[in-house]
Structure 1
Amino acid sequence: MATPATSPSVITRRGVLAAATGTMLLSACGRGEERDGALPRPTPGHELVIGATLELSGPGAALGVTQERVLAISTEAINDKGVAVGNLRRTVRLEIMDNRSDPRLAARQATELGQRDDVHALLGGTLAETSMSVIGVAQELRLPFVSLAFGDAITVPLAQRAFIYKVTPDAGDVARQLAQLIDAEGLRRVVLLAEEGLHGNSGVRAMTGALRTAGVGLARTVRLPKAGGDVGRAAEQAVAAQADGVVVWATAPNSGAAARALRKAGHSGHLFFDPGAVAEETLESHNALAVEGAYAIHPSSLAASTVANSSATGRAYRDLVSQYIRRHGAYSGFAPYASDALLLIATAARLADSVDRGRLRAYLQNQITDGMAGMYSFTPIRHSGMERQSLGVYRVDGGAWNRLR
């Protein structure tokens, strides 16, 4: 059994890149700067306007509401001093819309925001389907869009995703760590229970290959129905395969519902989650017994101790968690992807000395940033920039996510 530890490769990667990007992070967040003993203030009347289409209601609300809360806190922190863009210091203004977890509505909202001359970039879409519906609009309007969703198809093929970026981990990186973990636990056959849709499709492709490479048998692949479907039947099919463990590849709240259904159907063995499960809802009381002892692969922000306390990122992360708890109660550690998306856009504006959409896109795709969820390294040929070294192994113990390695 693995013991709690911090991955040396993560520390090394963070240490090297943080040294190169520390000034960038401080400037973009508006922290640590002084001018003649006085704090710099935003220039009146000048803004960096970012549109956001989020799942504040509907099936995606378990993820979307948390991201809205984090955005509010992070925007206040940035606007304390503003973002230095050329010879101006701009405040960030968010235009947030509830897409109600409806891809068609998300596309209409993206169109409405993108056709406004004063909107410089777009973020959002915690569900793969809503993010995918925004992509065509963002491409047509040449509007930089940073997606918060899971699903590799969001950023590929690159020729059709020139203005599209993603802050969540790639399925292949997650699957490799899951397969290695399953092998290390001594399991020889597992079932993959993957939700319907783009995120589940990415998981099926990635896990199939990763398990084969690790020498672990895939007993069966079962698809979870969309919200409101018969989760119990899918769980029964998974349990009938009599495997050593079950990998649930789904976003909250589907992850918790699948765990409950699996336990009810008689699965008492190992349970594994992809990062989409790591939301506050998954650890709530109605899921507590079902998910206790379950494993997950997730970026390092899930364990605050892995974010260096002396770094700018560490201080910003502690401030974020403190503010979140004060305003909304317990903070489960769900990675603040929206905060990082905001940071990436603000940093691009600072580096570009401009809020021009084309220049923002150019500086997004050439950016290395140590974010709160993990390390990002975007390049012209890679728009899903979460570094694989940012991922860690976690287990639910006593109703909380605890890092193993």
Structure 2
Amino acid sequence: MRPIRSAIPALLASAILATSLTGCQFGAPEEASGEIVIGADLELSGAAPQVGKAYQRALELKVEQLNESGALGGRRVRLEVRDNKFDASISATNIGDFTSDPAISGIIMGSCNECAIGAAKTVKSKQVPTIALAPATDVAAPGPDREYMFKLGPNARDNVAAIAAELRARKVKTVAVLHTADKYGEEGAATLTNELVGVEEDPTDIPILAKRSVKVTDTDVSQAVGALVAEEPEAIIVWTPADQANLAIGSLGKERYRGHVFFDAVAAGDLFIGNSGTAAEDTTMVFTQTMVIDDVIATTPAKAASKQWFRDYTARFGGYYGYSSFAADAVQLIVDAAVRAGGDGEAPDRPRIRSLLETAETDGLSGPIRMTPENHSGLMPQALSLLVARGGRWRLAG
């Protein structure tokens, strides 16, 4: 469905306000000068370069938009990007350098769970607010141990809840799980078990017939997929990053699997599914509406802003990558807090920035974001939707 044309100008005008400095309800910005410097520790090479490069593109685009908007008064945002090569030791060096730079207002980290978890002590001791885009719950919890660490992106428990509800709605009786052998993959497998199979026998239980794990660096998942298909489950849940999810689609096609296929949100990559399009048809993924915002009517300023972001990103880079909105929202959150905290590029008030992040409330590009002292992982469950693969691309289900 398409938005009513006459409503677009007013909605877009409101959208600018929705994602500006008042969007996080921090109050009106104070006039100041100087730079807001953000360090970015990303996986630009190594195990997941496609995700890191998508984050870099999104960060640079968002910074450019903020600087050109005039919303910051006399201030400008500057981004410093470093490649951690998906190596926690290299990431630690990058974080050490960023936290030693007094001009840095905040840090954004990429998809590496071990990198973000390993950085928690350093950013706390150096008092540098950090937003990680890595998915594992331990990145931002428990709160007291993650005082300066925040997380932005779908949470395993919310993804599982959405998948489980749909499995039960379809009356699926048995499942099998393919997951990565890392922090987030193991968390997903455990959470699925807790949700689908209770401690006591329950008529709504959905037995997990088999689980198979793959390394995050594996470029062939066919053996693991074949083992799951051999168990003849009614549904297979794939809990892997986008590249391996695409490999799984191909392997499931070769196995002629005809059951239900579900993907966790980490599988979100390109909007268009590519070579595996035919095999992917009718598969289901949990993710935010940003991935398919062109299917959504812009009835609110936040949705109008998301549609505009989708258009801007697609126009600039020739396609859309699902996780780009989280990177853009992370920039907005840090900039909003830095402006409200006062100071300048030479001496940002980091404890104040951290305090403002901890109570941030905004309808971001990714959906509703609410941070609290008890919960540093701000994406709300309401941000998630079910998407379905149709005609070689992801669409909003229903």
Shorter-chain TM-score above 0.5: yes
Shift of 1:382: 0.4
Distance 1:347 1:332 in 2: 24
Is 1:290 aligned to 2:279, yes or no? yes
- Bigger mean CA deviation after superposition, 302-311 or 161-170: 302-311
Q: Work out which of the residue numbers 12, 21, 40 in structure 2 matches 1:27.
A: 21
Is 1:228 aligned to 2:222, yes or no? no
- Bigger mean CA deviation after superposition, 261-270 or 341-350: 261-270
The count of residues paired between Structure 1 and Structure 2 equals: 374
Matched with 1:36 is: none
Q: How much identity, in percent, do the aligned residues show?
A: 26
- In 1, are the aligned partners of 2:273 and 2:393 still within 8 Å (CA)? no
Q: Work out which of the residue numbers 303, 318, 325 in structure 2 matches 1:329.
A: 318
Shift of 1:360: 0.7
- In 2, are the aligned partners of 1:335 and 1:372 still within 8 Å (CA)? no
Shift of 1:311: 4.1
Shift of 1:205: 1.9
Q: Work out which of the residue numbers 376, 386, 400 in structure 1 matches 2:393.
A: 400
Shift of 1:201: 1.5
- In 2, are the aligned partners of 1:28 and 1:78 still within 8 Å (CA)? no
Q: Structure 1 residues 267 and 242, CA, compared in 2 at 3 Å: closer, same or farther?
A: same
Shift of 1:81: 4.0
- In 2, are the aligned partners of 1:83 and 1:346 still within 8 Å (CA)? no
Q: Work out which of the residue numbers 232, 257, 261 in structure 1 matches 2:251.
A: 261
SS in 2 for 1:80: helix
Distance 1:83 1:381 in 2: 31
- Bigger mean CA deviation after superposition, 145-154 or 126-135: 126-135
- In 1, are the aligned partners of 2:66 and 2:77 still within 8 Å (CA)? yes
TM score, norm. by length of structure 2:
0.86
Distance 2:285 2:383 in 1: 14
Q: Structure 1 residues 121 and 358, CA, compared in 2 at 3 Å: closer, same or farther?
A: same
SS in 1 for 2:154: coil
Distance 1:363 1:164 in 2: 13
Q: Structure 1 residues 369 and 133, CA, compared in 2 at 3 Å: closer, same or farther?
A: same
TM score, norm. by length of structure 1:
0.85
- Counterpart of 1:393 in structure 2: which amino acid? L
Matched with 2:88 is: 103
- Bigger mean CA deviation after superposition, 271-280 or 131-140: 131-140
Looking at both structures, which has the greater relative contact order when contacts are Cα pairs under 8 Å and sequence separation is at least 6? Answer: 2
- Root-mean-square deviation (Å): 2.7
Shift of 1:279: 0.4
Distance 2:361 2:65 in 1: 21
Shift of 1:260: 1.8
SS in 1 for 2:312: helix
**Deviation by residue 1:183-207 (Cα, 9 ceiling, x = unmatched):** 1122100001111101102201211
Q: Work out which of the residue numbers 322, 330, 340 in structure 1 matches 2:329.
A: 340
- Counterpart of 2:65 in structure 1: which amino acid? A
Distance 2:19 2:218 in 1: 42
Unaligned runs of 5+ in 2: 2-13, 199-203
- Bigger mean CA deviation after superposition, 386-395 or 149-158: 149-158
**Deviation by residue 1:43-102 (Cα, 9 ceiling, x = unmatched):** 66x011100011122221121111111111111111124565xxx642111001121222
Unaligned runs of 5+ in 1: 5-18, 31-39
**Deviation by residue 1:299-351 (Cα, 9 ceiling, x = unmatched):** 12122157663644334333322222222112254451100101111122233
Distance 2:32 2:146 in 1: 33
SS in 2 for 1:309: coil
